[in-house]
A and B are shown apart, each in its own frame.
Chain A
Amino acid sequence: MPGTTKGDPSLAGDQRDRVRVSPRGESLEELIGRVALGDRDAFRQLYEQATPKLLGVALRILRDRALAEDAVQEALVKIWHAAAGYRSDRGSGMAWLMTIQRNKAIDMLRARPARHAPLEPAESLADPGPGPAAAAEAADERERIARCLAELPADRAAAVRAAYLEGWSYAELAHRHAVPLNTMRTWLRRSLIRLRECLMR
Protein backbone atom coordinates (compact mmCIF):
# COMPACT_ATOMS: atom_id res chain seq x y z
CA MET A 1 0.00 0.00 0.00
CA PRO A 2 2.15 2.82 -1.23
CA GLY A 3 1.85 6.10 0.51
CA THR A 4 0.46 4.84 3.79
CA THR A 5 2.32 3.83 6.86
CA LYS A 6 -0.21 1.44 8.30
CA GLY A 7 -0.79 -2.01 6.93
CA ASP A 8 -4.13 -2.82 8.46
CA PRO A 9 -6.83 -2.62 5.82
CA SER A 10 -9.78 -2.62 8.20
CA LEU A 11 -10.35 1.11 7.92
CA ALA A 12 -12.06 1.78 4.64
CA GLY A 13 -10.15 -0.93 2.78
CA ASP A 14 -8.84 0.31 -0.54
CA GLN A 15 -9.90 3.84 0.32
CA ARG A 16 -6.70 4.08 2.29
CA ASP A 17 -4.73 4.29 -0.89
CA ARG A 18 -5.98 7.82 -1.18
CA VAL A 19 -4.76 8.93 2.21
CA ARG A 20 -2.65 12.00 1.91
CA VAL A 21 0.72 11.42 3.53
CA SER A 22 2.64 14.45 2.40
CA PRO A 23 2.86 16.62 5.49
CA ARG A 24 0.55 19.58 5.22
CA GLY A 25 -1.11 19.27 1.84
CA GLU A 26 -2.05 22.95 1.95
CA SER A 27 -4.52 22.82 -0.89
CA LEU A 28 -6.72 25.90 -1.04
CA GLU A 29 -9.71 23.75 -0.08
CA GLU A 30 -7.92 22.63 3.08
CA LEU A 31 -6.85 26.17 3.85
CA ILE A 32 -10.40 27.46 3.49
CA GLY A 33 -11.58 24.76 5.90
CA ARG A 34 -8.96 25.78 8.43
CA VAL A 35 -9.85 29.43 7.95
CA ALA A 36 -13.43 28.44 8.81
CA LEU A 37 -12.01 27.23 12.13
CA GLY A 38 -10.41 30.61 12.75
CA ASP A 39 -6.87 29.53 11.87
CA ARG A 40 -4.82 32.64 11.13
CA ASP A 41 -1.83 30.78 9.82
CA ALA A 42 -4.06 29.09 7.26
CA PHE A 43 -5.42 32.49 6.29
CA ARG A 44 -1.90 33.80 5.81
CA GLN A 45 -1.11 30.88 3.51
CA LEU A 46 -4.34 31.44 1.62
CA TYR A 47 -3.35 35.08 1.24
CA GLU A 48 0.00 34.07 -0.25
CA GLN A 49 -1.54 31.58 -2.66
CA ALA A 50 -4.59 33.44 -3.82
CA THR A 51 -4.12 37.20 -3.54
CA PRO A 52 -2.23 37.79 -6.81
CA LYS A 53 -5.00 36.09 -8.74
CA LEU A 54 -7.69 37.98 -6.80
CA LEU A 55 -5.94 41.26 -7.52
CA GLY A 56 -5.70 40.26 -11.16
CA VAL A 57 -9.44 39.91 -11.55
CA ALA A 58 -10.20 43.01 -9.44
CA LEU A 59 -7.81 45.06 -11.55
CA ARG A 60 -9.37 43.80 -14.74
CA ILE A 61 -12.81 44.90 -13.56
CA LEU A 62 -11.93 48.15 -11.77
CA ARG A 63 -8.96 49.24 -13.91
CA ASP A 64 -7.50 51.17 -11.01
CA ARG A 65 -4.78 49.82 -8.78
CA ALA A 66 -5.86 51.47 -5.52
CA LEU A 67 -9.52 50.59 -6.02
CA ALA A 68 -8.62 47.05 -6.95
CA GLU A 69 -6.58 46.61 -3.76
CA ASP A 70 -9.54 47.94 -1.78
CA ALA A 71 -11.75 45.38 -3.49
CA VAL A 72 -9.30 42.60 -2.62
CA GLN A 73 -9.27 43.77 0.98
CA GLU A 74 -13.06 43.62 1.09
CA ALA A 75 -13.05 40.17 -0.49
CA LEU A 76 -10.44 38.84 1.96
CA VAL A 77 -12.47 40.11 4.91
CA LYS A 78 -15.51 38.36 3.52
CA ILE A 79 -13.50 35.17 2.91
CA TRP A 80 -12.32 35.18 6.54
CA HIS A 81 -15.90 35.48 7.81
CA ALA A 82 -17.66 33.33 5.21
CA ALA A 83 -15.21 30.43 4.92
CA ALA A 84 -17.64 28.08 6.64
CA GLY A 85 -19.98 28.54 3.69
CA TYR A 86 -17.57 26.96 1.22
CA ARG A 87 -18.63 23.60 -0.23
CA SER A 88 -15.82 21.68 -1.88
CA ASP A 89 -18.26 19.49 -3.77
CA ARG A 90 -19.59 22.52 -5.68
CA GLY A 91 -16.32 23.78 -7.06
CA SER A 92 -12.65 24.38 -6.42
CA GLY A 93 -11.46 26.63 -3.64
CA MET A 94 -10.00 29.04 -6.17
CA ALA A 95 -13.32 29.26 -8.03
CA TRP A 96 -15.05 30.11 -4.75
CA LEU A 97 -12.51 32.81 -3.90
CA MET A 98 -12.69 34.26 -7.41
CA THR A 99 -16.50 34.40 -7.29
CA ILE A 100 -16.34 36.40 -4.06
CA GLN A 101 -13.65 38.67 -5.51
CA ARG A 102 -15.44 39.22 -8.79
CA ASN A 103 -18.69 40.10 -7.02
CA LYS A 104 -16.96 42.51 -4.62
CA ALA A 105 -15.20 44.26 -7.50
CA ILE A 106 -18.43 44.56 -9.48
CA ASP A 107 -20.27 45.86 -6.39
CA MET A 108 -17.63 48.59 -6.05
CA LEU A 109 -17.73 49.35 -9.75
CA ARG A 110 -21.50 49.79 -9.74
CA ALA A 111 -21.46 51.87 -6.55
CA ARG A 112 -19.38 54.47 -8.38
CA PRO A 113 -20.40 57.00 -10.99
CA ALA A 114 -20.35 55.66 -14.54
CA ARG A 115 -16.85 54.58 -15.41
CA HIS A 116 -15.08 56.89 -17.77
CA ALA A 117 -14.45 54.36 -20.47
CA PRO A 118 -13.87 55.86 -23.88
CA LEU A 119 -16.24 54.72 -26.59
CA GLU A 120 -14.36 52.19 -28.64
CA PRO A 121 -15.28 50.50 -31.85
CA ALA A 122 -16.58 46.99 -31.39
CA GLU A 123 -13.55 45.52 -33.16
CA SER A 124 -11.38 46.38 -30.18
CA LEU A 125 -13.44 43.96 -28.12
CA ALA A 126 -12.12 41.00 -30.01
CA ASP A 127 -10.36 38.73 -27.59
CA PRO A 128 -6.60 39.22 -27.93
CA GLY A 129 -6.17 35.65 -26.68
CA PRO A 130 -4.63 34.58 -23.42
CA GLY A 131 -0.99 35.35 -22.72
CA PRO A 132 1.55 32.55 -22.64
CA ALA A 133 1.23 32.11 -18.87
CA ALA A 134 -2.54 31.89 -19.03
CA ALA A 135 -2.41 29.60 -22.01
CA ALA A 136 -0.18 27.24 -20.06
CA GLU A 137 -2.85 27.02 -17.40
CA ALA A 138 -5.51 26.04 -19.89
CA ALA A 139 -7.46 23.04 -18.67
CA ASP A 140 -10.02 20.81 -20.34
CA GLU A 141 -12.86 22.83 -18.85
CA ARG A 142 -11.48 26.03 -20.18
CA GLU A 143 -11.03 24.50 -23.58
CA ARG A 144 -14.67 23.46 -23.47
CA ILE A 145 -16.03 26.94 -22.76
CA ALA A 146 -13.49 28.47 -25.14
CA ARG A 147 -14.62 26.08 -27.88
CA CYS A 148 -18.28 26.90 -27.22
CA LEU A 149 -17.62 30.64 -27.18
CA ALA A 150 -15.82 30.20 -30.49
CA GLU A 151 -19.04 28.82 -31.99
CA LEU A 152 -20.71 32.19 -31.39
CA PRO A 153 -20.19 35.15 -33.69
CA ALA A 154 -16.95 36.78 -32.54
CA ASP A 155 -18.56 39.96 -31.24
CA ARG A 156 -21.14 38.04 -29.19
CA ALA A 157 -18.42 35.86 -27.71
CA ALA A 158 -16.44 39.00 -26.88
CA ALA A 159 -19.50 40.45 -25.15
CA VAL A 160 -19.96 37.34 -22.99
CA ARG A 161 -16.26 37.37 -22.10
CA ALA A 162 -16.36 41.08 -21.26
CA ALA A 163 -19.39 40.53 -19.03
CA TYR A 164 -17.59 37.79 -17.10
CA LEU A 165 -14.00 38.99 -17.08
CA GLU A 166 -14.50 42.76 -16.97
CA GLY A 167 -17.87 42.98 -15.24
CA TRP A 168 -19.61 44.89 -18.01
CA SER A 169 -23.34 45.55 -17.70
CA TYR A 170 -25.88 45.39 -20.53
CA ALA A 171 -25.78 49.18 -20.74
CA GLU A 172 -21.99 49.27 -21.13
CA LEU A 173 -22.03 46.47 -23.66
CA ALA A 174 -24.74 48.24 -25.66
CA HIS A 175 -22.76 51.48 -25.54
CA ARG A 176 -19.55 49.83 -26.69
CA HIS A 177 -21.22 47.94 -29.48
CA ALA A 178 -23.30 50.99 -30.40
CA VAL A 179 -26.59 49.12 -30.35
CA PRO A 180 -29.79 49.79 -28.39
CA LEU A 181 -29.92 48.26 -24.91
CA ASN A 182 -32.73 45.87 -25.79
CA THR A 183 -30.88 44.66 -28.85
CA MET A 184 -27.84 43.87 -26.73
CA ARG A 185 -30.00 42.08 -24.19
CA THR A 186 -31.63 39.96 -26.91
CA TRP A 187 -28.26 39.16 -28.50
CA LEU A 188 -26.70 38.14 -25.28
CA ARG A 189 -29.62 36.07 -24.04
CA ARG A 190 -29.69 34.16 -27.30
CA SER A 191 -25.94 33.72 -27.14
CA LEU A 192 -26.26 32.28 -23.64
CA ILE A 193 -28.81 29.72 -24.89
CA ARG A 194 -26.44 28.74 -27.66
CA LEU A 195 -23.63 28.50 -25.16
CA ARG A 196 -25.64 26.25 -22.87
CA GLU A 197 -26.59 23.96 -25.79
CA CYS A 198 -22.95 23.66 -26.75
CA LEU A 199 -21.77 23.05 -23.17
CA MET A 200 -24.32 20.26 -22.75
CA ARG A 201 -23.14 18.41 -25.85
Chain B
Amino acid sequence: MSERDDMLPPDEPLGPDEEGEVLAAEYVLRLLDPAAEAEARAREADDPAFAKRVARWRAEFSALDAEVVPVQPSDLLRRKVERRLFGGSEALAGARPGVGLWQAVAAVFAAATVALGLLVFRADAPPPVFPDRPPVALPQTPPRLVTTLDAADGRAAFIVVVDQAEGTLQIARTVDPPPTDAEHQLWFLDDSGVPESLGLLPDAPVFTIGVDPDTLERLREGVLMEVTREPAGGSPTGGPTGTVIGIGSAQPL
Protein backbone atom coordinates (compact mmCIF):
# COMPACT_ATOMS: atom_id res chain seq x y z
CA MET B 1 0.00 0.00 0.00
CA SER B 2 3.06 2.25 0.13
CA GLU B 3 2.41 3.58 -3.35
CA ARG B 4 -0.79 5.12 -2.07
CA ASP B 5 0.73 6.98 0.85
CA ASP B 6 0.80 10.12 -1.25
CA MET B 7 -3.00 10.13 -1.09
CA LEU B 8 -2.81 11.06 2.56
CA PRO B 9 -1.61 14.37 4.02
CA PRO B 10 2.12 14.63 4.72
CA ASP B 11 3.19 13.20 8.04
CA GLU B 12 3.39 16.38 10.04
CA PRO B 13 2.51 16.91 13.69
CA LEU B 14 -1.19 17.41 14.31
CA GLY B 15 -2.48 20.76 15.54
CA PRO B 16 -4.17 20.83 18.95
CA ASP B 17 -7.60 20.82 17.31
CA GLU B 18 -6.77 17.80 15.16
CA GLU B 19 -5.13 16.11 18.12
CA GLY B 20 -8.33 16.43 20.16
CA GLU B 21 -10.39 15.21 17.23
CA VAL B 22 -8.23 12.14 16.64
CA LEU B 23 -8.07 11.33 20.34
CA ALA B 24 -11.87 11.44 20.52
CA ALA B 25 -12.14 9.08 17.54
CA GLU B 26 -9.55 6.70 18.98
CA TYR B 27 -11.45 6.73 22.26
CA VAL B 28 -14.75 5.92 20.56
CA LEU B 29 -13.13 3.16 18.49
CA ARG B 30 -11.49 1.71 21.64
CA LEU B 31 -8.02 2.01 20.13
CA LEU B 32 -6.38 3.58 23.18
CA ASP B 33 -4.34 1.61 25.68
CA PRO B 34 -5.96 1.30 29.13
CA ALA B 35 -4.13 4.26 30.69
CA ALA B 36 -4.88 6.60 27.80
CA GLU B 37 -8.44 5.33 27.72
CA ALA B 38 -8.95 6.12 31.41
CA GLU B 39 -7.54 9.59 30.78
CA ALA B 40 -9.89 10.14 27.84
CA ARG B 41 -12.85 8.94 29.89
CA ALA B 42 -12.03 11.46 32.60
CA ARG B 43 -11.65 14.16 29.98
CA GLU B 44 -15.02 13.26 28.48
CA ALA B 45 -16.56 13.90 31.89
CA ASP B 46 -14.74 17.19 32.54
CA ASP B 47 -14.24 18.81 29.15
CA PRO B 48 -17.50 19.62 27.33
CA ALA B 49 -15.73 20.41 24.05
CA PHE B 50 -14.04 17.00 24.10
CA ALA B 51 -17.32 15.32 25.13
CA LYS B 52 -18.96 16.94 22.12
CA ARG B 53 -16.29 15.54 19.79
CA VAL B 54 -16.79 12.11 21.34
CA ALA B 55 -20.58 12.33 20.92
CA ARG B 56 -20.18 13.40 17.30
CA TRP B 57 -17.86 10.50 16.46
CA ARG B 58 -20.21 8.09 18.21
CA ALA B 59 -23.09 9.36 16.13
CA GLU B 60 -21.07 9.16 12.89
CA PHE B 61 -19.78 5.66 13.51
CA SER B 62 -23.13 4.38 14.79
CA ALA B 63 -24.37 4.74 11.21
CA LEU B 64 -22.21 1.66 10.53
CA ASP B 65 -24.36 -0.31 13.00
CA ALA B 66 -26.75 -0.82 10.08
CA GLU B 67 -24.20 -3.33 8.75
CA VAL B 68 -24.57 -5.54 11.80
CA VAL B 69 -26.71 -8.55 10.96
CA PRO B 70 -29.21 -9.34 13.73
CA VAL B 71 -28.85 -12.79 15.31
CA GLN B 72 -31.62 -14.46 17.32
CA PRO B 73 -30.42 -15.25 20.83
CA SER B 74 -31.08 -18.58 22.52
CA ASP B 75 -34.00 -18.77 24.89
CA LEU B 76 -31.47 -19.53 27.61
CA LEU B 77 -30.20 -15.94 27.38
CA ARG B 78 -33.64 -14.56 28.15
CA ARG B 79 -33.93 -16.81 31.18
CA LYS B 80 -30.47 -15.88 32.43
CA VAL B 81 -31.14 -12.17 32.13
CA GLU B 82 -34.56 -12.56 33.72
CA ARG B 83 -33.20 -14.47 36.65
CA ARG B 84 -30.25 -12.18 37.15
CA LEU B 85 -32.28 -8.98 37.13
CA PHE B 86 -35.62 -9.98 38.54
CA GLY B 87 -35.26 -13.03 40.67
CA GLY B 88 -33.79 -16.40 41.34
CA SER B 89 -30.48 -15.12 42.66
CA GLU B 90 -32.03 -14.80 46.12
CA ALA B 91 -32.40 -18.55 46.16
CA LEU B 92 -28.72 -18.98 45.53
CA ALA B 93 -27.83 -16.46 48.18
CA GLY B 94 -30.15 -18.25 50.58
CA ALA B 95 -28.45 -21.62 50.13
CA ARG B 96 -26.24 -21.47 53.19
CA PRO B 97 -22.96 -23.30 53.51
CA GLY B 98 -23.61 -26.67 55.05
CA VAL B 99 -26.83 -27.21 53.19
CA GLY B 100 -26.47 -30.39 51.22
CA LEU B 101 -26.01 -30.24 47.50
CA TRP B 102 -29.41 -31.74 46.79
CA GLN B 103 -31.15 -29.34 49.11
CA ALA B 104 -29.40 -26.43 47.42
CA VAL B 105 -30.29 -27.74 44.00
CA ALA B 106 -33.88 -28.31 45.12
CA ALA B 107 -34.09 -24.78 46.53
CA VAL B 108 -32.74 -23.25 43.36
CA PHE B 109 -35.00 -25.42 41.23
CA ALA B 110 -38.06 -24.54 43.29
CA ALA B 111 -37.25 -20.86 43.07
CA ALA B 112 -36.64 -21.13 39.34
CA THR B 113 -39.93 -22.96 38.92
CA VAL B 114 -41.76 -20.25 40.78
CA ALA B 115 -39.94 -17.57 38.87
CA LEU B 116 -40.25 -19.06 35.44
CA GLY B 117 -43.49 -20.95 35.72
CA LEU B 118 -44.03 -23.62 33.14
CA LEU B 119 -41.09 -22.49 31.11
CA VAL B 120 -38.85 -24.85 33.00
CA PHE B 121 -40.88 -27.75 31.68
CA ARG B 122 -41.77 -26.38 28.30
CA ALA B 123 -38.73 -25.33 26.36
CA ASP B 124 -40.95 -24.39 23.44
CA ALA B 125 -43.20 -22.17 25.53
CA PRO B 126 -43.93 -18.69 24.22
CA PRO B 127 -41.64 -15.90 25.48
CA PRO B 128 -42.26 -15.61 29.19
CA VAL B 129 -43.37 -12.46 30.86
CA PHE B 130 -40.74 -11.40 33.35
CA PRO B 131 -41.78 -12.85 36.68
CA ASP B 132 -44.27 -10.80 38.59
CA ARG B 133 -42.13 -10.05 41.62
CA PRO B 134 -42.21 -6.77 43.50
CA PRO B 135 -40.56 -4.32 41.09
CA VAL B 136 -37.63 -2.10 41.92
CA ALA B 137 -39.42 1.21 41.57
CA LEU B 138 -42.96 0.70 40.38
CA PRO B 139 -45.78 -1.08 42.13
CA GLN B 140 -47.59 -3.13 39.48
CA THR B 141 -50.96 -1.90 40.65
CA PRO B 142 -53.43 -0.77 38.04
CA PRO B 143 -54.67 1.58 36.87
CA ARG B 144 -51.62 3.25 35.45
CA LEU B 145 -51.14 5.53 32.49
CA VAL B 146 -48.00 6.36 30.60
CA THR B 147 -47.36 9.53 28.66
CA THR B 148 -44.37 9.81 26.37
CA LEU B 149 -43.56 13.46 25.89
CA ASP B 150 -41.92 13.73 22.49
CA ALA B 151 -39.42 16.42 21.61
CA ALA B 152 -39.50 18.27 18.30
CA ASP B 153 -37.29 15.60 16.71
CA GLY B 154 -39.87 12.93 17.62
CA ARG B 155 -37.73 11.29 20.27
CA ALA B 156 -38.96 10.81 23.80
CA ALA B 157 -37.96 13.70 26.07
CA PHE B 158 -39.86 12.63 29.20
CA ILE B 159 -41.75 9.49 30.19
CA VAL B 160 -44.47 10.16 32.75
CA VAL B 161 -46.13 7.24 34.48
CA VAL B 162 -49.32 8.21 36.32
CA ASP B 163 -49.74 5.92 39.27
CA GLN B 164 -53.28 6.34 40.56
CA ALA B 165 -52.75 3.91 43.40
CA GLU B 166 -49.74 5.79 44.74
CA GLY B 167 -51.00 9.26 43.83
CA THR B 168 -47.72 10.05 42.11
CA LEU B 169 -46.18 10.79 38.77
CA GLN B 170 -43.02 8.80 38.15
CA ILE B 171 -40.95 10.59 35.59
CA ALA B 172 -37.86 9.71 33.57
CA ARG B 173 -36.09 12.62 31.92
CA THR B 174 -34.13 11.75 28.77
CA VAL B 175 -33.15 15.32 27.89
CA ASP B 176 -30.74 17.60 29.70
CA PRO B 177 -32.09 19.72 32.55
CA PRO B 178 -32.55 23.43 31.78
CA PRO B 179 -29.83 26.02 32.51
CA THR B 180 -29.81 27.47 36.01
CA ASP B 181 -31.89 30.51 35.05
CA ALA B 182 -34.74 28.37 33.72
CA GLU B 183 -37.13 25.62 34.78
CA HIS B 184 -38.87 22.70 33.16
CA GLN B 185 -42.56 22.89 34.06
CA LEU B 186 -45.07 20.09 33.54
CA TRP B 187 -48.63 20.84 32.41
CA PHE B 188 -51.75 18.87 31.63
CA LEU B 189 -54.83 19.71 29.62
CA ASP B 190 -58.14 17.90 29.95
CA ASP B 191 -61.63 18.76 28.75
CA SER B 192 -61.64 21.94 30.81
CA GLY B 193 -59.57 23.43 27.99
CA VAL B 194 -57.20 25.28 30.31
CA PRO B 195 -53.66 24.01 30.82
CA GLU B 196 -52.83 23.49 34.46
CA SER B 197 -49.44 23.11 36.10
CA LEU B 198 -48.41 19.82 37.64
CA GLY B 199 -45.26 21.40 39.00
CA LEU B 200 -41.66 22.32 38.33
CA LEU B 201 -39.42 19.37 37.54
CA PRO B 202 -36.20 18.57 39.36
CA ASP B 203 -32.97 18.10 37.38
CA ALA B 204 -32.60 14.40 38.24
CA PRO B 205 -32.89 11.81 35.45
CA VAL B 206 -35.57 9.91 37.39
CA PHE B 207 -37.91 11.35 40.02
CA THR B 208 -41.36 11.14 41.53
CA ILE B 209 -43.72 14.04 42.13
CA GLY B 210 -46.90 13.96 44.19
CA VAL B 211 -50.28 14.97 42.82
CA ASP B 212 -53.30 16.04 44.88
CA PRO B 213 -56.26 13.63 44.67
CA ASP B 214 -58.56 16.03 42.77
CA THR B 215 -55.98 16.56 40.03
CA LEU B 216 -55.12 12.88 39.99
CA GLU B 217 -58.76 12.08 39.31
CA ARG B 218 -58.57 14.18 36.13
CA LEU B 219 -55.45 12.46 34.73
CA ARG B 220 -57.20 10.00 32.48
CA GLU B 221 -56.51 8.32 29.17
CA GLY B 222 -56.15 10.87 26.39
CA VAL B 223 -55.25 13.79 28.66
CA LEU B 224 -52.48 15.90 27.15
CA MET B 225 -49.26 16.59 29.00
CA GLU B 226 -46.40 18.81 28.07
CA VAL B 227 -43.19 20.18 29.51
CA THR B 228 -42.26 23.76 28.69
CA ARG B 229 -39.18 25.76 29.46
CA GLU B 230 -40.09 28.59 31.83
CA PRO B 231 -38.19 31.29 33.72
CA ALA B 232 -36.73 30.51 37.14
CA GLY B 233 -39.56 30.06 39.59
CA GLY B 234 -41.94 28.81 36.91
CA SER B 235 -44.32 30.42 34.46
CA PRO B 236 -45.13 34.02 35.45
CA THR B 237 -48.65 33.79 33.97
CA GLY B 238 -49.87 30.52 35.42
CA GLY B 239 -50.02 29.03 31.92
CA PRO B 240 -47.32 27.69 29.61
CA THR B 241 -45.27 30.50 28.05
CA GLY B 242 -42.00 28.98 26.86
CA THR B 243 -40.59 26.54 24.36
CA VAL B 244 -42.19 23.11 24.38
CA ILE B 245 -39.62 20.52 25.45
CA GLY B 246 -41.94 17.55 25.03
CA ILE B 247 -45.62 16.78 24.53
CA GLY B 248 -47.81 13.68 24.45
CA SER B 249 -51.12 12.13 25.45
CA ALA B 250 -51.69 9.66 28.28
CA GLN B 251 -52.20 6.03 27.32
CA PRO B 252 -52.98 2.96 29.40
CA LEU B 253 -49.83 1.20 30.49
Bound together, the chains give a CA A62 to CA B127 distance in angstroms of: 26
Measured CB to CB, the nearest residue on chain A to B52 is A90
The residue from A59, A84, A88 contacting B156, defined by CB atoms under 8 A apart: A88
Bound together, the chains give a CA A44 to CA B129 distance in angstroms of: 7
CB distance from B55 to the nearest CB of A (A): 5
Bound together, the chains give a CA A30 to CA B249 distance in angstroms of: 13
Interface residues of A in 150-190 (CB under 8 A from B): 153, 155-156, 160-161, 163-165, 167, 169-170, 177, 186-190
Contact B158 A11 (CB under 8 A): no
Contact A33 B71 (CB under 8 A): no
Known interface pairs A38-B135, A192-B25; A72-B73 also in contact (CB < 8 Å): yes
Is chain A's interface secondary structure helix, strand, loop, or mixed overall? helix
**A-B contact list, 12 entries, CB within 8 Å:** A15-B244, A19-B150, A20-B150, A27-B156, A29-B155, A34-B172, A37-B171, A38-B138, A44-B127, A55-B72, A84-B206, A88-B157
Bound together, the chains give a CA A171 to CA B191 distance in angstroms of: 65
Contact A199 B58 (CB under 8 A): no
B42 interface residue (CB < 8 Å to A): no
Query: What per-residue 1/0 map shows which CB atoms of A39-55 lie under 8 Å from chain B?
Result: 11101100110011101
For A23, list chain B residues within 8 Å (CB).
Answer: 251-252
Contact B226 A130 (CB under 8 A): no
The residue from A39, A102, A164 contacting B161, defined by CB atoms under 8 A apart: A39
Bound together, the chains give a CA A101 to CA B176 distance in angstroms of: 23
Bound together, the chains give a CA A131 to CA B66 distance in angstroms of: 10
The residue from A36, A69, A137 contacting B66, defined by CB atoms under 8 A apart: A137
Query: What per-residue 1/0 map shows which CB atoms of B223-253 lie under 8 Å from chain A?
Result: 0101010000000000110001001110111
The residue from B66, B70, B74, B146 contacting A139, defined by CB atoms under 8 A apart: B66
B181 interface residue (CB < 8 Å to A): no
Bound together, the chains give a CA A77 to CA B55 distance in angstroms of: 23
B212 interface residue (CB < 8 Å to A): no
Query: What per-residue 1/0 map shows which CB atoms of A69-83 lie under 8 Å from chain B?
Result: 100110011001001
Starting from the known contacts A15-B247, A145-B63, 10 additional A-B residue pairs (CB-CB under 8 Å) come to A6-B224, A10-B189, A12-B244, A20-B248, A23-B251, A30-B159, A36-B174, A53-B68, A87-B176, A165-B67
Total contacting residues, chain A, CB less than 8 A:
101
Contact B161 A37 (CB under 8 A): yes
Is chain B's interface secondary structure helix, strand, loop, or mixed overall? mixed
Contact B73 A52 (CB under 8 A): yes
Total contacting residues, chain B, CB less than 8 A:
88
Contact A141 B21 (CB under 8 A): no
Contact B55 A91 (CB under 8 A): yes
Contact A134 B68 (CB under 8 A): yes
Bound together, the chains give a CA A112 to CA B130 distance in angstroms of: 32
Contact A18 B247 (CB under 8 A): yes
Bound together, the chains give a CA A134 to CA B77 distance in angstroms of: 25
A124 interface residue (CB < 8 Å to B): no
Query: What per-residue 1/0 map shows which CB atoms of B164-178 lie under 8 Å from chain A?
Result: 000000111011100
Contact A190 B1 (CB under 8 A): no
CB distance from A53 to the nearest CB of B (A): 5
